[in-house]
Amino acid sequence: MNLLRSKCSVFPEGFENLQNRLILNKAKEMGIGCELLVEGCEDFLKLSMEHKQIIINKTRTHRLPLIAGLLAKNKQACNLILHEQGMPVPSHIVVAAMGEEAETFLKQHGSIVVKPLDSSSSQGVTLDVRNIAELEKAMDLAAQYGSSILLQQYVIGTDYRVLVINDQVAAVNQYRPVYVTGDGSSSICELIERLNESRMEDTEIGMYESFPAIDLKNVDNTRLLDTLRKQGFGWSDIPLVNQEIELYDLRNSAAGKISEFYRDCTDDIHPENARMMIQAAQSLQIDVAGIDVRCKDIRVPITAAQGGILEVNALPDLTHHVYPHGGTRKDVVRQYLEYLWES
């Protein structure tokens, strides 16, 4: 804890946000001045070098058009533009409430995602909804975060986050719900406890939590127990060496409650997919974009038959690229700051 305090003390008072800490830490290394524009408010950073000053909002730059941020926030508008550009976008509709249109869409696709039309992160999102009862519950949840609801075809595959900076793919992460791997001698409960302990990393910006802890205090956690039972396990069972045990079942699951591993796989992305991600960012006029993709394999060109672009974010998080759970760390903050200072 003393080490944590000593590391945190190098940051000026008010720098609590990890993105801002990353930017400040790298800016100092590069000889760039960095401070809060408004004391006590982390919304804006003032960067300065020689006689030039730039104001940013974390990974939103001074070059991002207002319309670009609005388009990215409105998932329907975003999907429409991407579709017009010929990019694979899962089938979707927008509704205001539960009704015949929503039920018909569910019956047509069999499995869908329900999400607020213009919310951020994973708030109010439910995955892999398959029946009317689940749909009603998911729409009630989504309605808490927005007035309109997007229903989207559920795409089977692996999730990826592609970071595009200034028309270049800067990094790619593969992410999946956290799991434990057997060692032949530890119970599942012990493996989860060990996993929880390993999630905290002591870094140059302070303690970094790579994923939220798995709740073991509530032993009546029905969803986790059901997920284990479907795989033939209970709390005290001992998996085989290298046997992977899933802790989350995505079926009718609230996306915001899923802890995930992020693994760098930048070198795996197929050149055609990289070009598509760059085109997606350009189409929305987003200079620093986080593009969420689900497909069978990022190493193979993405088509509508085997994947699609789920969302494009205009305020991408850089921390998972700097501190991935596996794979190579990427110096994306340097790349971001170098871009900011291009004339």
Determine the Cα–Cα distance for residues 202 and 218; give it in Å rounded to an integer: 28
- The 10 Å Cβ neighbour count of residue 22 is 25
Residue 5 scores a pLDDT above 90: no
Residue 7: pLDDT over 70: no
Give the C-alpha separation, 221 to 219, whole Å.
Answer: 5
| Sheet order of strands, 253-254 included | 92-95, 149-153, 112-116, 126-129, 253-254
Q: What is the percent of the chain with per-residue pLDDT over 70, rounded to a whole number? A: 96
CATH topology for 91-154? Dna Ligase; domain 1 (3.30.1490)
Are 227 and 249 a contacting pair, CB within 8 Å? Answer: yes
What does the pLDDT read at residue 343? 63
- Fold match between 64-87+156-178+258-343 and 91-154? no
| Mean pLDDT across the chain | 92
Q: Distance from CA of residue 5 to its chain's centroid?
A: 29
Q: Where are the domains of the chain?
A: 2-58, 64-87+156-178+258-343, 91-154, 181-247
- What integer pLDDT is reported at residue 306 of this predicted model? 87
Give pTM, 2 decimals. Answer: 0.92
Coil, strand or helix: which one is 68? helix
Q: What does the block give as tokens for 253?
A: 């699951």
- Cβ(330)–Cβ(323) under 8 Å? no
Name beta bridge partners: 55: 46
Q: What is the CA radius of gyration of the chain?
A: 21
pLDDT by residue (tens digit) across 263-310?
Answer: 999 999 999 999 999 999 999 999 999 999 999 999 999 998 889 999
The reported pLDDT for the residue numbered 291 is 97
Closest C-alpha to 164, from 249, 248, 62, 278: 278
Q: What is the pLDDT of residue 218?
A: 63
- What mean pLDDT is predicted for residues 28-54? 95
Across residues 89-101, what is the average pLDDT? 94
The whole-number pLDDT of residue 3 equals 35
Q: Which residues contact 183 (CB under 8 A, 6 or more apart)?
A: 191, 241
9-23, 73-87, 255-269: range with lowest mean pLDDT: 9-23
CA distance 291 to 273: 11
64-87+156-178+258-343 to CATH, choices 3.30.470.20, 3.40.50.2300, 1.10.3720.10, 3.40.50.720? 3.30.470.20
- H or E, element range at 75: helix 75-84
